[in-house]
Amino acid sequence: MSKVQIYDKAMCCSTGVCGPQVDPVLPRFAADLDWLKSQGHSVTRLNLSQDPAEFASNPVVNKMLADEGVECLPLVIVDDRVVSRSEYPSRENLAMWTGTTVKPKVTLPMADAGGCCGDTGCC
């Protein structure tokens, strides 16, 4: 299984899903990380305001911050390789980087213009 590390910008809490104005991307990303954990991967999420020593002790993260500033955050590192920066990736990308299969979303069939039974004329 893969080791996934997320280095977030400074936020008020570990997920950023709090306060009066929540970025809608953050709850989706938090759910995607929970899903990744449920698939058996190791997921660590670090917040610049709560875990500054972790940012400073990682040479790759430290260099990127020195070169680009906080604009490079969030950084997503999978198995010690930077796979994403400056945005929260999709579940599909997380799955691809960790070799995890994503089950297709199930959709319900929709009736066409002919009514609930199709073009059978019964409706």
Instruction: Dump pLDDT digits (tens) for 62-115.
Output: 999 999 999 999 999 999 999 999 999 999 999 999 999 887 666 766 666 555
In angstroms, the CA 50 to CA 19 distance is 17
Domain borders along the chain are 3-98
| Structural fold of domain 3-98 | Glutaredoxin (3.40.30)
- Calculate the alpha carbon distances from 27 to 23, 32, 43 in Å: 8, 9, 16
pLDDT at 78: 97
Instruction: Dump pLDDT digits (tens) for 41-71.
Output: 999 999 999 999 999 999 999 999 999 999 9
Tell me what the pLDDT averaged over the chain comes to.
85
Residue pair 85/73 in contact by the 8 Å Cβ criterion: yes
Q: Per-residue DSSP letters for 74-121?
A: SEEEETTEEEEESSPPPHHHHHHHHTPPPPPPP------TT-TTSSSS
pLDDT at 62: 94
pTM of the shown model: 0.77
